[in-house]
Amino acid sequence: MKIEKGIKMLIVSSYPPRECGIATFTNDIVDALYVVFGDTLPVEVCALQNRDQELRYTEEVTYILPVDSLVHYRLVAEKINERTDIGLVCIQHEFGLFRGEYGDHILSFILALNKPIVTVFHTVLPNPDEKRKKVVYALTDLSDKVVVLTKKSKEILSDYYNCPHSKTVVIPHGNHTVLWEQKKVLKKKYGFKDKVVLSTFGLISENKGIETVLHALPEIVTRHPEVIYLIIGKTHPEVLKTEGEKYRNLLTSIVKELDLENNVIFINEYLQLEQLLEFLTLSEIYLFCSKDPNQAVSGTFAYAMSSGCAVISTPIPHAVESLGNGNGILLKNFDNPKEFQKAIRYLIENKEQRIALGKNAFAMARATNWENIAIQYRLLFDQLTNREDDLRFNFPTINLDHIKKMTTDLGILQFSKFSQPDPESGYTLDDNARALINMVMYNKAFPGNENLKLANIYLNFIEGIQQHDGWFNNYKDFDNHLTKQNGEVNLEDANGRALWSLGMVISHRQNLPLDMICQAVKCWDKAIKKIDNFKSPRAIAYALKGLYLYHETYKDSEIKNHIAKLADKLLHHYKINSAENWCWYEDYMTYANNVLPEAMMYSYLTTKNPKYKKIALITFDFLLSHYFMKGQLKVISNRGWFKKQNERIFYGEQPIEVATTIIALDLFYEITQNNKYKDQLKLAFIWFLGNNHLKQIMYNPANGASYDGLEDKHININQGAESTLCFFKARLIMEKYA
């Protein structure tokens, strides 16, 4: 039976303000589910606590389960059963969270529930005794699905507890998105500019093994007195109850004994997330020194990798699975100061290698940021509640941060390394034309002086790269000099895009300052003299979009004639290349394919020639038939074009193709009011939000940028101008459909 919309997930877990790793984990999941899915997947929490605890929770906590009262397990379960709007119960399991032998009180709760159950095992121990084996077996048997955080845990569940592989899903620990370029800024902010910062964080307890690192440091700081080791975190509350500060006192005495007071800093606080991420981001090296070989996973480890630290770790399963292929240094042993000493010294004395390890870890960790983990939990929820066809995503906030960061006084830079603008990549007319179009659109929707300032920068770049005869160059270096690329590549497409951007400015004369309009018209009047030079179908198409916009403003008969002439050129391309099963303008599909039928439709709107509209519809529908498959958008790969005679290559998808699909679908829906275009438009946009073959977001939630490419097994997380501008424009269009 299909469950109604608005059905909820209830998570059973410890929860803030309780200071506990599982509480933090659950809070991160709740927040991420809201960011990605909004109100389309409401989440409530059943908080675990002792009867003597008095905690003040946020509104998502609707039940409290006193774990030291066996009768309450059944009572709370019965209350949950009365709710028709709770579709699934997700239990975060850690043996120490529940009372009874090996936490077996939780079985009373599960046996009383009549809802689908997912149990998330944070710890899975090998070689269990019979009682532990029975408890874990019962938990897995009574659960509809079991989630573990590492592949090793899945193997242990199968080998030691007879849990079927088909029942177990691996969903890794999540992490937060930070910006790489913040490393230097934060070191300066906290007074560590000239230091090499090492760190360890988490709730402090003896199994953290911090003394192992301390014993490794004396020889290191003798050679490198600039080393600072941050030990971040309070003593674990449960440890504090039973042992007080015994372990922390031991650590401070070791620091004194080894004469490390100038190099070791204890931050004895349970830090808020923002400050914690700042400390991790400024750390060059993260030291994970757990002495527990059965610790399956560590949130602290995950956060360190996502913060771009070079990680040195003891061989817990999480580290074994993560620290391959140059992502960090995996030690062979536990509790071995000499091994730590050797690894730390190597990274201090080999800065390039240290940075490379941090970058590799940073890039790899994007696949498991909390937004992507939220998608995995949502898909599991939908599967168990029969809602696979009802997947809905929340539109992210429109964010100009990365565009502003990429923009200098000259224009918008071409590329970035991760999110850090790359001055060596220089500037292109292509990107500045895109940026100008975007900013004009954005200013119409959200007027502001900052928008106009950016638009002026991009327009000035376009004017500055135009030659006296009206033709445009495309490439400039960071010092504002033309580069040799201008003489090596075909510049037609860039010139067509320039006309489009100028037409966009001119068509918004009611919303823009007069001097901008005059500047654009001046460039236009020079450029239009070269209109007959266009031979490339895409250059023609871009030019047609600009001509349409200009004509809508001035109703110029000469412009109308140019439109008909260029549209006939496109029509000629169609006639010579199309065939019975190939309704296209070329004998291959390359990039920005949607602009061709879109330009034909604009030609129809100006000339009212029905053959233009007919071909626009035929070719657009043909293109879409190759783009939408099994509920997803799959655009042409940049690894190889889709040729008439050849098999198509998949993967290697780029945001430009997704964005141009959205732009064209918006036009075709506006003209035809055919709902299939609106439905496909929404489906195309959620490619950015995670509805793609990797089930990962294609945008950076921290700065509003788009990642550069969706490959077969990973995402290219560089955030260049083209990708970011394409995503930004697509998001602007989606405001109409929110």
- What DSSP letter does each residue of 161-202 carry, written as one string? H---GGGEEE-PPPB----TTHHHHHHHHTT-TTSEEEEEES
Q: What is the DSSP-derived secondary structure letter of residue 530?
A: G
Of 480, 510, 533, the position where a domain reaches its end is 533
- Position 373 in a domain: no
Number of residues that make up the chain: 738
At 319-375, the pLDDT tens digits run 899 898 888 999 999 989 999 999 999 999 999 999 999 999 999 999 999 999 999
Taking residues 240-269, report their average pLDDT: 93
- Position 287 in a domain: yes
Residue 692: domain span:
398-425+630-738
- Position 384 in a domain: no
Q: Does the pLDDT at position 390 exceed 80?
A: no
- Position 432 in a domain: yes
Confidence (pLDDT) at 447: 96
Give 333's contacts (C-beta < 8 A, 6+ positions apart): 314, 315, 339
Confidence (pLDDT) at 588: 86
pLDDT confidence band for 640 (50 / 70 / 90): confident
Query: Are residues 37 and 110 part of one domain?
Result: yes
pLDDT confidence band for 389 (50 / 70 / 90): low
pLDDT confidence band for 271 (50 / 70 / 90): confident
- Position 677 in a domain: yes
- Position 595 in a domain: no
Taking residues 228-251, report their average pLDDT: 91
Residue 472, φ and ψ in degrees, nearest 5: -105, 140
Q: Does the pLDDT at position 4 exceed 70?
A: no
First to last CA, the chain: 29
Name which of 149, 152, 139 is nearest 169 in CA terms: 149
Please check whether residue 139 is in contact with residue 106, taking contact to mean a CB–CB distance below 8 angstroms. Answer: yes
Scanning the structure block, which residue is given the tokens 């780029």? 654
Which of 389 and 196 is assigned the larger pLDDT? 196
Residue 168, φ and ψ in degrees, nearest 5: -100, 135
Query: Are residues 302 and 313 part of one domain?
Result: yes
Cα 289 to Cα 652: distance, rounded to the nearest angstrom: 39
Cα 526 to Cα 511: distance, rounded to the nearest angstrom: 24
Confidence (pLDDT) at 648: 76
Query: Are residues 433 and 420 part of one domain?
Result: no
Instruction: Please give the biggest Cα pair distance in the chain.
Output: 89
Q: Does the pLDDT at position 6 exceed 80?
A: no
What's the chain's average pLDDT?
94
Of 499, 517, 533, the position where a domain reaches its end is 533
Query: Are residues 241 and 223 part of one domain?
Result: yes
Of 145, 170, 195, the position where a domain reaches its end is 170
Confidence (pLDDT) at 263: 96
Confidence (pLDDT) at 3: 40
Q: Dig out the tokens for 59 from the structure.
A: 């509104």
Query: Are residues 153 and 19 part of one domain?
Result: yes
At 194-232, the pLDDT tens digits run 999 999 998 888 989 999 999 999 999 999 999 999 999
Taking residues 622-631, report their average pLDDT: 91
Count other C-beta atoms under 10 Å from residue 702's C-beta: 16
- Position 79 in a domain: yes
Confidence (pLDDT) at 5: 53
Secondary structure of residue 330 in the 3-state scheme: strand
At 481-533, the pLDDT tens digits run 999 999 999 999 999 999 999 999 999 999 999 999 999 999 999 999 999 88
Confidence (pLDDT) at 18: 92
At 431-443, the pLDDT tens digits run 999 999 999 999 9
Confidence (pLDDT) at 299: 87
Query: Are residues 127 and 189 part of one domain?
Result: no
Confidence (pLDDT) at 2: 40
Q: How many domains does the chain have?
A: 4
Cα 623 to Cα 635: distance, rounded to the nearest angstrom: 10
In this structure, what CATH number is given to the domain that contains residue 153?
3.40.50.2000
Upstream peptide bond of 421 is cis (omega within 30 degrees of 0)? no
Query: Are residues 192 and 219 part of one domain?
Result: yes
Confidence (pLDDT) at 631: 86
pLDDT confidence band for 651 (50 / 70 / 90): confident
pLDDT over 90, % of the chain: 85
Query: Are residues 356 and 209 part of one domain?
Result: yes
Strands (DSSP E) along 361-451, which ranges?
416-417, 420-421, 427-428
Taking residues 392-405, report their average pLDDT: 95
At 87-127, the pLDDT tens digits run 999 999 999 899 999 999 999 999 999 999 999 999 999 99
Q: Does the pLDDT at position 652 exceed 90?
A: no
Scanning the structure block, which residue is given the tokens 């916009």? 549
Confidence (pLDDT) at 99: 92
Report the predicted TM-score, pTM, of the whole model to 2 decimal places. 0.92
Query: Are residues 350 and 209 part of one domain?
Result: yes
- Position 565 in a domain: no
Query: Are residues 262 and 403 part of one domain?
Result: no
Please check whether residue 662 is in contact with residue 681, taking contact to mean a CB–CB distance below 8 angstroms. Answer: yes
Query: Are residues 120 and 56 part of one domain?
Result: yes
Per-residue three-class SS string for 622-647: HHHHHHEECCEECCCCCCCCEECCCC
Please check whether residue 480 is in contact with residue 523, taking contact to mean a CB–CB distance below 8 angstroms. Answer: no
Confidence (pLDDT) at 159: 95
pLDDT confidence band for 547 (50 / 70 / 90): very high
Query: Are residues 430 and 416 part of one domain?
Result: no
At 667-680, the pLDDT tens digits run 999 999 999 999 99
Confidence (pLDDT) at 650: 80
463-483 in b/e form (b: 16+ CB < 10 A) is eebbeeebbbbbbbeeeeeee
